[in-house]
Structure 1
Amino acid sequence: MKRLYYKYLSAAFCIVAILLIHSCASISSPDGGPYDEEPPKVVRCTPNDKATNTSTKKVTIEFDEFIKLDGASEKVVISPPQAEPADIKANGKKIIVTLFDTLKTDYTYTIDFGDCIQDNNEGNPMGNYSYSFSTGASIDTMEVSGTVLDAMNLEPVKGALVGLYSNLSDTVFTTAPLERIARTNAKGQFVIKGIASNKQYKIYALNDADQNYFFNQKSEGIAFNDSIITPKSEPSTRTDSIWHKNDHSRLDSVVTVPCTRFMPDDIVLTLFTEKQTNQYLTKPERLTPNKFSLFFTAPADEPAAIEGLNFNTEDAFIKEFSATNDTLHFWIKDSLIYQKDTLDMVVKFMGTDTLGNLVPTTDTLHLASKKTMEKIRKEQNKKYEDWLKAQKKQHKGKDEPIDSIMPADPLEMKMSGGSKMGANENIHFSFGEPIVNINNSAFHLKIQKDTLWVDEPFEIEQDSANIRRYTLMAEWLPEHNYELTVDSAAFTGLYGNVTKEAKQKISISSLDEFSSLYVKVSGIDTCAIVQLLDKGDKVVTQAKLNKQSEADFYYIKPGVYYMRLFIDKNNNGVWDTGEYASRTQAETVFYYPKSLELKARWEIEQSWNPLDTPLTEQKPLEITKQKPDREKSIKNRNAERKFNKK
């Protein structure tokens, strides 16, 4: 009996122990209390924010919790701009800013931190914050704001300096630092603070390459506005969102609060980079013995002249020059010249001197080929040996002579235009060297009519912009088949090689496979070009506005397109940038604010007034490459924890 009692007691003890262990295992670890979701708050500034008669160069801003700075070197902007960069540090609950430049008399200083202040643990952003003080008896509190866009494509310009001068002279932008500055965000937006209410200003934007706060390099992007800015303000209201106290993802209410509206607040600056006009010979190049090239920094009215020192330049070259004479290729005709290890020559051109003026300039060059004639001969010998070995192997055991003369390599020819073309397209031939002869009788173009193939007339022309490209043009009929035969030796290259035979069957698409677009533009009474763009913001085709302000597009493949228009002030058919010295703005660009879906067999008439939509709202977001930064917000981890526990 006693033994049975102890047996039950032991079993009961084991059950209690198991339950106790299970109970202990189910206890969760302490969660440390709720997450901090409150942004940092300023509790003290030394000197006080908006203090006057300040002479100290050290600013201390103290917060109610430990903080950190995110991207301070990019986001913190100090006005007036500092020649020697300020020292900006986060130390515990403090931000310490030390200025090294001499303080200006009777001047307002602004330190704009943007959104870079966060609490140290959770990264809760404080939001846009700025601090200011004055070295005089009063402080300037006016503001102006706006947007900077790329003049060529209306992309928002991120990280550009925007600044003001109270000196209204046009030359100050090229001689003295900006007085008040701000930096654009990812939307191209800026706010310049600490502006005097009793002054007038001119505004500029600058991609400051050398960080001197004024325009002194043509490579720097710039924007300017000839209008004079007079700051002003008026009472206004704004709507604020009130978020739920315990869940920052839930909107509690929307309230209207009084505020001050500072104006102008809708400034639009279009930033451009000037044409490079400083003229230098940047790179002479001789990759192969039979060709050398000269590359210049800028376009020129006349190409550079060559004078040979160890060879005669008279009728020595076929010249292939770019339209702007900044890239010059010289194809050497005479093998006695290009077999020289080094070509010694004098290059004469109009170059830029130390004062920025174009003056006659002479450079002496000694051009050795990167690929030597010796290496070329070795490659040719190896190629011949391999060919001869293959011939012997092929004729092994056969009672027939072996040809010891290796056939010349054919001239490589690239023929564009696939097996299917639109009636508005043509066939193009391109080559790796200049062509010295075309045998027109070697081309045969036939059209299929019923069961017969009939000769079709055509023309072949050399491309005006590329001497190594030719175009075969014909009256292509929709829904018809063609066959093009190009006999061997149709083209002869500069160095004696000829093309081999080529054939191409061509089917011309039906007109029903295409769309047509007819654009009627209003509000523009000057010469303009309308461009049809793809989803990558690249030009598919363009048309000039006619006298009725219309631009028509035919043979458009079905798809989604976008539209851009630019004012062609000089009627040259291309977009031109601006120039500050002559106060010339870049040619104005507009975007149609919506996409256009074109389908097969559709004929669409589209009206467009480019002035109806503000410039800042025109470019569709789908083709805007500079997307807005993701706005920083409270992480709302308490609500997330609560949800996960459900």
Structure 2
Amino acid sequence: MGQPDGGWYDETPPKIVHASPADKATGVKTRKITITFDEFVKLEDAANKVVVSPPQLETPEIKSAGKRIVVELKDSLKDDITYTIDFSDAITDNNENNPMGNYTYSFSTGTEIDTFEVAGNVLDASNLEPVKGILVGLYDDLSDTAFTAKPMIRVSRTDSRGRFIIKGVAPGTYRVYALQDADGNYIYSQKSEMVAFSHDTFVPSCGPDIRQDTIWRDELRIDSIARVPYTHFRPDNIVLLAFTVPQTDRYLLKTERQDPRRIDFYFTYGSDSLPAVKGINFDASDAFVIEPSEKRDTIFYWLRDTALVNRDTLLMEVDYMMTDTTGLLTSRTDTISALPKKGYEKRMKELEKEIEKWQKDQEKARKKGEPYDSVMPVKNMEPKISIPSSMSPESSVFIEMPTPLARFDTSAIHLYSKHDTLWYRARFELHPVKGQLRRYELLAEWRPAVEYSLEIDSAAFEDIYGIVSKPVKKGLRVRSNDDFGSLMVSIDGRTDTLDMVVQLLNSSGNVVKQTKAKNNTAEFFYVQPGKYYLSAFTDNNGNGIWDTGDYEADRQPEAVFYNPKEIECKAKWDITVSWNINAVPLTEQKPMAITKQKPDKEKKQRNRNADRAREMGIPLKK
């Protein structure tokens, strides 16, 4: 007794039995294409995987029905041009999902089919990540204005590896561009669109070549390795570095008053001048402590007067700089009503509940004969003290205040160092962090393998509301030099004399240290044991940060490089690494371990019948 097992699996991919018009047909006049298969098929993610070239301004209708795939073009056909419909790997059979493989259908409205192909990769210029799904297109108009005035003439999209192949290219001279086309017009028309460009031109060509193919017997065993002739289309190694232009258009995103003591302004971009605030129902002169962000795109207006803090509605006239329709900064005046997230009445009710709870707790303590208070203590300000978990001699301690300070007393701050069993005063300096109103840096000569105690007296800090800090005591220990290693990086392969910034990355790809190379040598000291990677960028303007490009200014982004090898740093080891930044192509530099954009799993035949035969003890045919 048993159940029938259904027999062998269908492992045959779908095959085309008919196409109307025929594949590679010429003189085509119809805009409806029907492709018929020998079995039922599915079309996966047609909107992203299927690319029609030349690009269609009106989206084609692409659908599968039973054994057919129907494509209906909405744009009028152009004369004497080759059309390609690249299905990529979107076609599978309906039952077993057997992939057909990459398939491209083409036809011509003229008398000839153009067959050249152009291929390459698109990488994110800032981190060499493959850019998936970005549009890549060609222009035979070699002027710099074509990209912003005319649609691309032939297009493709990158896959998960950032790889693109533009098919059906006619003989000629071309430029290639990449565009994250937000509005679907195949033109670079918005600064927010990711873009890549190159002034290099090329002439497509092809010729016979030989490549090595691996023939698999099944998923685990190689049957043979063969040298196979094929037609090699060139260029196939184009590399485009994509970037986004900084958004310099300035307008007010929003204002809010999450904290009743503060009115927050959020702009899309900064400005040299701060907004001018004029009170309508209050006197705004000297009413605020202004806290702008480093880029001045976020500005906090702290209310000095608690009477204003307790007022629910503050009406004000705000004059600020805003980008107009011509792209120029002009003055704009808005009337703004600043309402707190929690009104004064609600805050008072919450305070009453808090006092009532405290009184009940004290009454319970009194009845139990435990210590209790008769007056509720005033809340103290609580600065946030940030001490590195692994303190090295080059580390700093930061103190961040919850509110702006009216004063701070450095004589109430003490730093002690322990030598043998005795504690001694240690010298330090406390400085405001540039561009951060409420953050301070404590600098000291941190000595290896020494224990320190940071002690802050009561009322060392007082904010603009008269609230003082409570006493704080923090212990910290600087690790021994033997706990760290050092890394020297010698950079080769440079053809310029620009500054270069070298970055040490952890196993997640995050920057842990950064230094400027001197005489093509970068030095990293006090490196914790672990596995690291290296990246670098040419600092064209010497500002110490990576700068993006600008198409209108004809400026490419600053060049970025990755060392493809993992580096292991050990305690008490001094490691020297030689790095030729041009020894490996850009497309192969970034290690896969820290690459965020992983390749999609390639669709393959599953060879389920081979597995089934093994289970049944049937010998596999060679």
TM over 0.5: yes
Give the residue type in structure 2 aligned to 1:473. Answer: L
Q: Distance in 1 between matches of 2:406 and 2:389?
A: 28
- CA drift of 1:307 comes to 2.1
Q: Map of 1:581-592 to 2, 5 A cutoff?
A: 581-592=552-563
- CA-to-aligned-CA distance 1:336-364 (integer Å, 9 cap, x gap): 33332211112222211123322222222
Partner of 1:462: 432
Give the residue type in structure 1 aligned to 2:225. Answer: V
Partner of 1:8: none
Partner of 1:76: 50
- CA drift of 1:166 comes to 1.4
In 1, are the aligned partners of 2:413 and 2:457 still within 8 Å (CA)?
yes
Q: Distance in 1 between matches of 2:68 and 2:129?
A: 38
Which of the numbers 247, 251, 254 marks the counterpart of 1:283?
A: 254
Q: Distance in 2 between matches of 1:368 and 1:243?
A: 70
- CA drift of 1:418 comes to 5.8
1:147 and 2:106 aligned: no
Distance 1:249 1:476, change over 3 A: closer
Q: Distance in 2 between matches of 1:403 and 1:29?
A: 81
1:438 and 2:408 aligned: yes
- What is the RMSD of the two structures over their aligned residues, measured on CA atoms? 2.1
Partner of 2:582: 611
Give the residue type in structure 2 aligned to 1:596. Answer: I
Which of the numbers 9, 18, 21 marks the counterpart of 1:47?
A: 21
Partner of 1:551: 522
Give the residue type in structure 2 aligned to 1:322. Answer: S
Between stretches 411-420 and 144-153, larger displacement belongs to 411-420
Q: Distance in 2 between matches of 1:374 and 1:601?
A: 62
- Superposition TM-score, scaled by structure 1 size: 0.91
Q: Map of 1:64-213 to 2, 5 A cutoff?
A: 64-197=38-171, 199-213=172-186
1:541 and 2:521 aligned: no
**Which runs of 5 or more residues in structure 2 are unaligned?**
618-622
- CA drift of 1:404 comes to 5.5
Q: Distance in 1 between matches of 2:267 and 2:474?
A: 40
Q: Secondary structure at the match of 1:73?
A: helix
Give the residue type in structure 2 aligned to 1:224. Answer: F
- CA drift of 1:249 comes to 5.8
Partner of 2:620: none
1:62 and 2:36 aligned: yes
Give the residue type in structure 2 aligned to 1:231. Answer: P
Q: Matched residue pairs, number?
A: 615
Q: Secondary structure at the match of 2:544?
A: coil
Partner of 2:326: 355
Q: Distance in 2 between matches of 1:418 and 1:554?
A: 16
Q: Distance in 1 between matches of 2:100 and 2:137?
A: 25
Partner of 2:392: 422
Give the residue type in structure 2 aligned to 1:234. Answer: G
In 1, are the aligned partners of 2:294 and 2:436 still within 8 Å (CA)?
no
Partner of 2:615: 644
**Which runs of 5 or more residues in structure 1 are unaligned?**
1-24
- CA drift of 1:619 comes to 0.2
Q: Distance in 2 between matches of 1:266 and 1:281?
A: 44
Which of the numbers 519, 525, 531 marks the counterpart of 2:503?
A: 531
- CA drift of 1:507 comes to 1.8
Give the residue type in structure 2 aligned to 1:284. Answer: T
In 1, are the aligned partners of 2:550 and 2:556 still within 8 Å (CA)?
yes
Q: Distance in 1 between matches of 2:296 and 2:597?
A: 34
- CA drift of 1:73 comes to 2.1
Q: Distance in 2 between matches of 1:617 and 1:301?
A: 42
Q: Secondary structure at the match of 1:118?
A: strand
In 2, are the aligned partners of 1:148 and 1:189 still within 8 Å (CA)?
yes
- CA-to-aligned-CA distance 1:477-510 (integer Å, 9 cap, x gap): 1112222221111111121111111112222210
Between stretches 413-422 and 228-237, larger displacement belongs to 413-422
Give the residue type in structure 2 aligned to 1:157. Answer: V
Q: Secondary structure at the match of 1:284?
A: strand
Give the residue type in structure 1 aligned to 2:385. Answer: M
Q: Secondary structure at the match of 1:287?
A: coil
Q: Distance in 2 between matches of 1:249 and 1:492?
A: 71
Give the residue type in structure 1 aligned to 2:252. Answer: L
Partner of 1:226: 199
Q: Distance in 2 between matches of 1:464 and 1:240?
A: 59
Partner of 1:515: 485
- CA drift of 1:438 comes to 1.1
Q: Map of 1:233-382 to 2, 5 A cutoff?
A: 233-244=206-217, 250-382=221-353
Give the residue type in structure 2 aligned to 1:99. Answer: L
Distance 1:37 1:389, change over 3 A: closer
Distance 1:41 1:309, change over 3 A: same
Give the residue type in structure 1 aligned to 2:584. Answer: T
Q: Distance in 1 between matches of 2:61 and 2:364?
A: 79
Q: Which has the higher Rg, Structure 1 or Structure 2? A: 1
Q: State the percentage of identical aligned residues.
A: 49
